[in-house]
Structure 1
Amino acid sequence: MRWWDLPAVLLLEERMFPEDAWSPGMFWSELAHARGPFATRRYLVAVETDPADGTERIAGYAGLAAVDGTGDVQTIAVAPDREGHGLGARLLTELLVAASAFDCHEVLLEVRVDNSRAQRLYQRFGFEAIGVRRGYYQPAGVDALVMRRTSEEAAG
């Protein structure tokens, strides 16, 4: 993800997460840590071309933070019309590759307890539920399921 992707990413963010969308400043802050020799973040976008007219659009995006051997999936979003086509799995795969490059021995994430589709995706990739954060998603007050994938689970 680059700064010029942010307008399209922010539109998708608002569409996907209307109650708790990230602000432009949050994305800018994350991108500031994604470049250079001391980078601790990896953000990416999935760009698709419309076969009818050749225009490109961002169909999804994802981000990972890495600190002291632990990766944390910050965000994954896929446009509603692209759900069920494997895009989320491809984005997650790239984040896990980045986690490996950052020498992470575990990767954590939070997912809404009412998002069973995403939970199934994470389980397919070896993530296991380890706890619940009550009222994590604000302002709706929706709980988050905390999930973890360790290097051993990835190998198994």
Structure 2
Amino acid sequence: MIADATGMSTAHLQRIIARPPLWITPETEERILAAKEVARRPEALIRNIATARQLQGLHRHGFTLTYLAERLGKSVQHVWVLMRQEYVTEHTRRLVDDLTVELATVRPTGPQVARTIARARKHGFVSLYAWDDITSPNETPKGIQEEAA
């Protein structure tokens, strides 16, 4: 992934890592330092902090698990597990990020909205807007939050 981000060969990077040279060319240094963000493989596992909070927040806003599952192409049970498990794949994180961006400012409609919000509240889920930094494990939600029953 670093080779792709820098445009350098993996063999060259492996040599630099295995036996760091006394000096490298300015061009090599510039390429490595310019690679600020390396794309993760879709199957890579990452901590499920933001993804769980996003799904919980969407549920708290009134989107049913059935609706979220359909939009993500997953089962309702899988979405429920995603709200609570420790790790998710990068692919799933991207799907949930995209869905959150799309739905964050949308108001769900229908007779199930009030029940969905009540259920999410019962489980202790908070609004998307309760987080200053939804990705931080040390972050606590802001505002008045009702405790789970």
TM class by shorter chain equals: under 0.3
Higher percent of residues as strand: 1
TM-score (norm 2): 0.25
TM-score (norm 1): 0.24
- Which has the bigger relative contact order, CA under 8 A and spacing at least 6? 2
Which of 1 and 2 has greater Rg? 2
